[in-house]
Chain A
C-alpha cells in the first residue's frame, strides 16, 4: 500500500486513510490545488521544480549535512548520524514545505498566504518564504502557543507576517487549524492556505511529503557516501508527521531499513476519560481512526468521536491527529510507532546540548530520547534533527526547573 507508483501518488488515499473531508466552499480550491500540484510539481511545468530546487539551495541552504555524532555513538555503542535540518534556513525542516507551497501559490496566481502554526516553526518558515517571494502572509496561532513560543512570534512579525491569536478551546494547534480553515473558506478565491504538515485534505499529505522528501533523499545519498550502505534504521519525531515522512519516504521501499516514528508520550499514554483529555500527543500509538481537518486518519478522540485536547511539552507535537500516510504505514507495519514522555524528551534536550554542542528542538528531543531505549538498533542509525531549540528556551527553562535532570543548567544564580 505504500508503493508510490504514479496512480497512488495522486489518489489521495493511503489504504483506508486520507481523502477530502472539507466544507463544500473549499472543494474547488482543493481541486485547483491538486491540478496545480500535478502540473507544476509532478510535471515540472514552467520549470517550477527547477526554481524550487534552486531556491531551496540558495535561500534555504540545502543540502544540510549528515553529521556523525561521535559522543553519542560512543555512548550507545552504535553509529549515530544526525541529519541536520536544524541548519536549514529558519532553523527547521519546515522551510522545505513552506517554500514549496508559497512558490506554488505564486505560480497559481494567488495573492495572499495564510498558515496555522503550533510551535511557530511553520509560521516562521511561511513568513520567511512569503517575504522572500513577496506575498502577503497571515498566521493563525493559539494564544497558549503564542505565550510559550515568543521568539518565533517576533520572528514572524519581523518578516512582515500578520499574527492572528486564537483563543478558543485549548489555544493550541488544533484551534489554530480550525480558524485557518474558516479563513480559507472565506477568502478561497485569492488565498492559498499553507498547511504545515502531512495532514489535511488531499493533495496536502502527498504534496507536503513530496516537498519534505528531500530530507531522506539527501540522507540516503550521504550515507552511501559515508559508509557505502543504507542505514539500519531511521528515527524521526512525529507530531503531524512532516519531518517523519520527509525522512522516511526515500527509505520506504528499502525493507532492510527500520523506520521508527517517535511520538510525544506527554505525561501519560492513558486517556483521562473524566476530563476528556489526552495527556499526550501519541495518535499513532493510541489514536483511533476518524475524520479531522479534511482527512481520515488516526485521532485522539473519545468514544463519541469528540476530539480530545492533546498535550506535549513540545508545542510543535501537540496535535490530536497525524498524517494519513503515516497512519497507513504504521498499520501495515512498515513504520513502527513508539513514544517517549515529556521528562525523557527534556533530558534528551539537555543531553544533546551538552554532549554534541547542538541545541535541538523539543520536538526532535523526542527522537533523540528514544536512542536511550532502542532495542535492536543495528550499526548505523540516522536521527532526523528536525529543528533547532532556540525557540524552546523559555519553555525549557520553565520545565527544567520542575524536574531533576542530570547535567541541566539552571538560571538560579542570575535571579
Chain B
C-alpha cells in the first residue's frame, strides 16, 4: 500500500493542506510543513511553482510568483523535500512543463526519479489530463509514486472511468468549476461529484474553495474521505510571511477537527 493510501486508511477524515514551496522563501517552507503536520495534516501538498499556473486562482498564483521571485527551482524543491523531517506523506503539485523539462534530456523520467529519491509520495499535475498521461503514469508506477488525478464536476461517463482506472493514492474531487481559491460555501456540485464517485476504490478528497472547519465537516458528512485546502493556508503565509507557522497549525487543527466532526455528524444544538 502506498504511503498516501495508508495515511487515508489511518483516519476516516483526512486533511490534505497545500502550500507553495518557497513562499515567501525556501527556508520558511520547512517550518510551515512541520506546523501543518502538527496541526493534523495527513498528507501535505507542496506546490512546485510554474510561471503559468492556469488552474490556480489569484491567491495561489501570487504565492507562486513570490516563490519564483525568491528563487525556487525544481532542484531546490527536491533538496528542500529531501531535507524535511516529517512523517506525513508529501505530494508535489506542479504543471507538466516543469516535469517534462527536468534534467539534461527532455522527458518525464528524470523528474519522477528525482521526486522518488527526494522522498515524495505522489504527484498532482493539473494541466495533464488522463489522455496525455501514459508516460508519466508508467514512470510513476516504476518509481512507486502515486499519480493523483483531479475529477471536475464536468467529468462524467467514460472520462470518469478512464480517470478511475489510472488514479492512485487518492482522487482529488474538484468541488466546483473554476480555479483554486477560498470560498464562502460548499458547492452542491460536491455532493453530485461524490455520488458519481461512490464506487471508486481510492479515497476521495474534496478541494477547491475549502476554507474552514465547517466546510470540512460538511464535505466529510457528504461522504468524502478527506478535504484538500490550499488558498486558506496560502492566505496566512501571504499575511504573516516567515512567521506563519503558529497560525498555519491552528488553521490546520480547525480544519482537521471539522473533518473529523463530519464523520458522525452531531444533531444541531438548539
Is B159 interfacial (CB 8 A cutoff)?
A: yes
Report how many A-B pairs have Cβ atoms within 8 Å: 112
Query: Do B129 and A306 have beta carbons less than 8 Å apart?
Result: no
Contact B150–A20 (Cβ < 8 Å): no
**A40 in contact (CB, < 8 A):** no
- Inter-chain CA distance A305–B128, complex, in Å, is 15
The interface stretch among B93-101, B114-122, B139-147, B236-244 is: B93-101
Decide yes or no whether B59 CB sits under 8 A from chain A. no
Indicate whether A168 sits within 8 Å of B61 (C-beta atoms), given known contacts A291-B97, A293-B54, A303-B101.
yes
Query: Does the CB pair A290–B51 fall under 8 Å?
Result: no
B177 touches A189 (CB 8 A): yes
Partner pick for A305 among B54, B100, B155, B156, CB 8 A cutoff: B100
Interface pair A301/B178, CB less than 8 Å apart: no
Enumerate 23 A-B pairs (CB-CB under 8 Å) in ascending A order: A20-B131, A21-B128, A22-B129, A23-B126, A24-B126, A24-B129, A24-B152, A24-B155, A24-B163, A27-B155, A178-B54, A182-B57, A185-B177, A186-B177, A289-B106, A290-B101, A291-B96, A301-B97, A304-B98, A305-B50, A305-B102, A306-B68, A306-B98
Q: How many residues of B contact A (CB 8 A)?
A: 40
A291 to B96 alpha-carbon distance, docked (Å): 7
**What residues make up the interface of B, taking CB atoms closer than 8 Å to A?**
50-55, 57, 61, 65, 68, 73-74, 95-98, 100-102, 106, 126-129, 131-132, 149-156, 159, 163, 174, 177-179
The reply to whether A188 and B154 form a contact with Cβ atoms under 8 Å apart is yes
The B interface, classified by DSSP as helix, strand, loop or mixed, is loop
Query: Which of B100, B155, B159, B178 touches A290 (beta carbons < 8 Å)?
Result: B100
Are A28 and B156 interface neighbours, CB within 8 A?
yes
Q: Is A387 at the interface (CB under 8 A from chain B)?
A: no
- Shortest CB–CB separation between residue B160 and chain A, in angstroms? 10
Known: A28-B159, A29-B154, A182-B57. A21 touches B132 (CB 8 A): yes
A389 within 8 A of partner (CB): no
- Minimum distance in angstroms from B156 CB to a CB of chain A: 7
Determine whether A100 belongs to the interface, using a CB cutoff of 8 Å to chain B: no
Which residue, A19, A178, A290, A291, has most C-beta atoms of chain B within 10 A?
A291
Asked if residues B55 and A23 are in contact (CB atoms below 8 Å), the reply is: yes
The answer to whether A185 and B55 touch across the interface, beta carbons within 8 angstroms, is: yes
> Are A292 and B52 interface neighbours, CB within 8 A?
yes
- Out of B50, B68, B129, name the residue touching A21 (CB < 8 Å): B129
Return the chain A residue nearest B128 by Cβ.
A21
